[in-house]
């Protein structure tokens, strides 16, 4: 690059120039193909250039690109009909925004307003975004350290500890916010007992339960919404990442009781729910329903889990165990995972990290048996070359 203009380095660069994406694959400038298990932090779960999404976007580009959601549009009417089929049945209201963090901000504001309380409960290793409200409920001290004071009072409890939740939720708590499977924090999956304890404690003390399904939702774990595995209903749910097949869109959805108390002026967004985003959402949900995405993700997820468990058992000097559920999976290593991520890239697999030691894999639902065999070969090579940490 000849330009002197510098991109702020919030992320370490990967030394790879991409030119094309199709389905579960990406290609670089040299024509080398990569199996995409990074999917832009989970966004491309529906695959690159998902045909339903491309079709809806192309159609919308020729009709109407921008309109405020205060005006009725065909795009909005059609998107709402489809959204109703995808959201959990108990959620009666929704609002559209552009990113996960924005969705979380609205969820927290709604809980603050409706309960009139100002205390939130979150969990160790939780990640909910980096805008100020979302950062307040995000655990990582490295992300938080220069930014206090935060807008809300937050207590972080141990994840998957029903007893801690029962003890700490009281009449001062506005909401408990929880990821059904922790993404950035290390791929821990909530036990059904833990999620039920959160639900029961919230009910007992008039607090709201917010589920952050931004990474775990929309079929990625082999069920439409990961919290439904515990057979519970949330008061507020936030979805984002994979919804629009790569187009920026997020949804915050509310129960009748919460949504009906939100009023004009409480929130808003200029770009939220613009026609192009609605077209992408339509394409995303049509793909979800018409291509049996959830079933396919469940099937592929089972094979991925089994494969990762076998890889771990063959490389115990480098790996501690398999983590995650479905297509939100990974391997806990005995060292920092970034070296393995780099080595996998050389072998044609794009992956990412989670927490301090987890190698994270977020493939599209299109990943095949052959792709998983290819992934296994790459992991075998990388883990075999890794030396155990000096004692």
Question: Shortest Cβ distance from residue 29 to ligand PLP (Å)?
Answer: 27
Q: Which residues contact 93 (CB under 8 A, 6 or more apart)?
A: 253, 254, 255, 256, 258, 259, 260, 262
Q: Is the peptide bond before 341 cis (omega within 30 degrees of 0)?
A: no
Does 357 participate in binding ligand PLP (rule CB under 6 A)? Answer: no
Does 185 participate in binding ligand PLP (rule CB under 6 A)? Answer: no
Residues 81-110 that bind ligand PLP (CB under 6 A): 99-101, 104
Residue count, binding to ligand PLP (CB under 6 A): 15
| Residue whose entry in the numeric block shows the structure tokens 């030119």 | 19
Among residues 55 and 131, whose Cβ is nearest to ligand PLP? Answer: 131
Structure-token pair, residue 138: 């995000």
Does 365 participate in binding ligand PLP (rule CB under 6 A)? Answer: no
**DSSP for residue 237:** E
Question: Shortest Cβ distance from residue 350 to ligand PLP (Å)?
Answer: 17
Does 39 participate in binding ligand PLP (rule CB under 6 A)? Answer: no
d(CA 108, CA 173): 12
Give me the 117-156 binding string for ligand PLP, x by CB under 6 A, dash otherwise.
----------xxx---------------------------
Structure-token pair, residue 71: 């005006």
Does 235 participate in binding ligand PLP (rule CB under 6 A)? Answer: no
Angle of helix 293-314 relative to helix 369-384, nearest 10 degrees? 30
> In the bound complex, which residue of the shown chain has the CB atom lying closest to ligand PLP?
100
Angle of helix 51-61 relative to helix 275-290, nearest 10 degrees? 150
Contact pick of 106, 187, 214, 349 for ligand PLP (by CB under 6 A): 214
d(CA 369, CA 270): 43
Structure-token pair, residue 209: 């339960």
Question: Shortest Cβ distance from residue 147 to ligand PLP (Å)?
Answer: 16
Q: Which secondary-structure segment (H or E) carries 361?
A: strand 358-361
Among residues 128 and 282, whose Cβ is nearest to ligand PLP? Answer: 128
Q: Is the peptide bond before 149 cis (omega within 30 degrees of 0)?
A: yes
Contact pick of 39, 122, 215, 274 for ligand PLP (by CB under 6 A): 215
Among residues 282 and 360, whose Cβ is nearest to ligand PLP? Answer: 360
Question: Shortest Cβ distance from residue 74 to ligand PLP (Å)?
Answer: 27
Question: Shortest Cβ distance from residue 143 to ligand PLP (Å)?
Answer: 12
Contact pick of 179, 235, 332, 371 for ligand PLP (by CB under 6 A): 179
The answer to whether the CB of 212 falls within 8 A of the CB of 179 is yes
Query: How many CA atoms are closer than 13 Å to the CA of 139, on its beta-carbon side?
Result: 21
Does 212 participate in binding ligand PLP (rule CB under 6 A)? Answer: yes
Residues in touch with ligand PLP (CB under 6 A): 41, 99-101, 104, 127-129, 179, 183, 212, 214-215, 240-241
């Amino acid at each position: 690059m000849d330009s002197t203009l510098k991109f702020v380095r919030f992320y370490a660069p990967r030394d790879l120039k991409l030119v094309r994406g199709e389905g579960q694959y990406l290609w670089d400038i040299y024509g080398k193909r990569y199996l995409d298990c990074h999917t832009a932090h989970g966004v491309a779960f529906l695959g690159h250039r998902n045909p339903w999404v491309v079709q809806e976007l192309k159609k919308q580009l020729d009709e109407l690109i921008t309109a405020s959601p205060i005006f009725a549009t065909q795009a909005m009417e059609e998107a709402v009909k489809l959204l109703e089929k995808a959201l959990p049945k108990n959620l009666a209201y929704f609002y559209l925004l552009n990113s996960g963090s924005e969705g979380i901000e609205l969820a927290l504001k709604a809980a603050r307003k409706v309960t009139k309380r100002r205390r939130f409960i979150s969990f160790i290793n939780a990640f909910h975004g980096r805008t100020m409200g979302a950062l307040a409920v995000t655990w990582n001290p490295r992300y938080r350290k220069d930014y206090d004071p935060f807008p809300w009072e937050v207590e972080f409890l141990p994840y998957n500890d029903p007893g801690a939740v029962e003890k700490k939720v009281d009449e001062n708590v506005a909401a408990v916010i929880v990821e059904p499977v922790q993404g950035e924090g290390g791929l821990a999956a909530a036990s059904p007992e833990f999620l039920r304890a959160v639900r029961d404690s919230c009910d007992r003390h008039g607090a709201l339960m917010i589920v952050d399904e931004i990474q775990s939702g929309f079929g990625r774990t082999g069920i439409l919404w990961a919290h439904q595995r515990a057979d519970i209903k949330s008061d507020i749910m936030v979805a984002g990442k994979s919804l629009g097949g790569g187009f920026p869109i997020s949804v915050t959805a509310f129960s009748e009781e919460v949504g009906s108390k939100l009023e004009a002026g409480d929130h808003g967004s200029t770009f939220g729910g613009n026609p192009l985003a609605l077209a992408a959402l339509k394409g995303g949900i049509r793909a979800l329903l018409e291509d049996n995405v959830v079933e396919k993700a469940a099937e592929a997820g089972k094979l991925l889990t089994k494969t990762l468990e076998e890889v771990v058992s063959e490389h115990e000097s480098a790996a501690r165990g398999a983590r995650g559920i479905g297509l939100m999976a990974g391997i806990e290593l005995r060292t920092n995972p970034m070296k393995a991520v780099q080595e996998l890239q050389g072998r044609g697999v794009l992956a990412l990290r989670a927490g301090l030691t987890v190698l994270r894999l977020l493939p599209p639902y299109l990943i095949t048996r052959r792709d998983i065999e290819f992934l296994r070969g790459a992991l075998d090579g990388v883990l075999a070359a890794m030396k155990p940490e000096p004692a």
